[in-house]
Amino acid sequence: MSKKIPFYVPSINDTELKEIKEVLALCEESKVDKLERDFAKYIGCEYALTTSSGTGALHLAMTAIDLKRGDKIICSVNAFPSVPEVVRHFDAEPIFADIDPDDYNIDLDALEDILAKNKSKKLKGAIINHVGGQPVDLDRLYDIAEKYNILIIEDASEAMGATYEGKKIGSTGADMTAFSFNPHMRSSISNGGMLVTDNEELNQRAELLRTHAIVTDKWDRQGNLGYIYDVIDIGLKYDMSELDAAYCIAQLGKVDKLIKRRIEIANIYNEELKDVPHVSLPIVKREHNYQLYIIKIDKNRDGFARELVKRGIYVGLHYIPLHLLSYYRQKYNLRVNDFPNALRNYQQILSIPIHAKMTDDDVYYVCEQIKDIAKKRSW
């Protein structure tokens, strides 16, 4: 019987259990407050705000920048649906850009071309995702943003702990950056996100709107009553629970160790798969945390994937280009060939397992099966 190699398995041990038990014992210290302090210190940013999910963090960011109906936000056509989704919830418009065929991130030439041709004052900014954990060329991105006076919101769902020129993503210059503690989990054990910024005004607005825009008095000896509250805006419900925060504290403490292990696995893949016919390996242009390991199959990617699954190796697809999805295709009258780089990559890309729970034997098993399938080419 073949081995089973899940696409992703979270790294969990007694650390999570200890943190959660402290919450259940009603310890006085707020795990939410601790997580925000620890995360800001880890990233090297001024402010860190917990949210109920990574999508919640992105939506909260759009609220904090006061996105309105008719506003426009540029994003890569190669992103998870949460990216344009949080824009559409304001009846604002996502503008899709094609991708760099090497690292699958937004094509900065395409981004600048859109901005150069733009005549609308409604174009407020861009949501930039770092695919698989390899950052965009941030020096050029920030130069473009300054030139055209737009906001940059980074979606770092796959880039927690990733660095750019030695600085952690979230501390490199974006207006706001959203993170997720649950990458690539279809059934999350715990939900959690984080929104970080160095902008005090944006942080204050996000913090207010995170919990229904409620402001309250605090119990004190001057007679203020803690149950008196007011609502001063239209808010949301994106605060994180203490139990989720406890789990995320334990996970945060492991981020660098998990990245180190993923890089070890990536190095094995790079060596073992470098000469395999029909298979192309990731092109590394900048520091890469390998949240994903994305290969390309030159022909019949789906047949190749089916063969891997038959052998117990579960795979992923990151991502189906947004212009191929029914809602966006119909809403904006998009054509299949509108984004040729994204389309070409979509037809070939395949994400194979890479997570810290994999043993070296697991990794070599994946390599052996890829080699065998590629050699037989019966798919």
Q: Where are the domains of the chain?
A: 14-252, 255-376
Give the CATH superfamily of 255-376: Aspartate Aminotransferase, domain 1 (3.90.1150.10)
Enumerate residue ranges in the chain where pLDDT < 70: 1, 185-187, 378-379
d(CA 28, CA 80): 38
Q: What is the pLDDT of residue 59?
A: 98
Full-model pTM: 0.96
State the fold for domain 14-252: Aspartate Aminotransferase; domain 2 (3.40.640)
d(CA 288, CA 263): 8
Reported as a single tens digit per residue, the pLDDT across 42-85 is 999 999 999 999 999 999 999 999 999 999 999 999 999 999 99
Q: What is the pLDDT of residue 220?
A: 78
Q: What are phi and psi of 358, to 5 degrees?
A: -75, 135
Q: What is the pLDDT of residue 379?
A: 62
**209 contacts 20 by C-beta, under 8 angstroms:** no
Q: What is the pLDDT of residue 222?
A: 75
d(CA 343, CA 96): 13
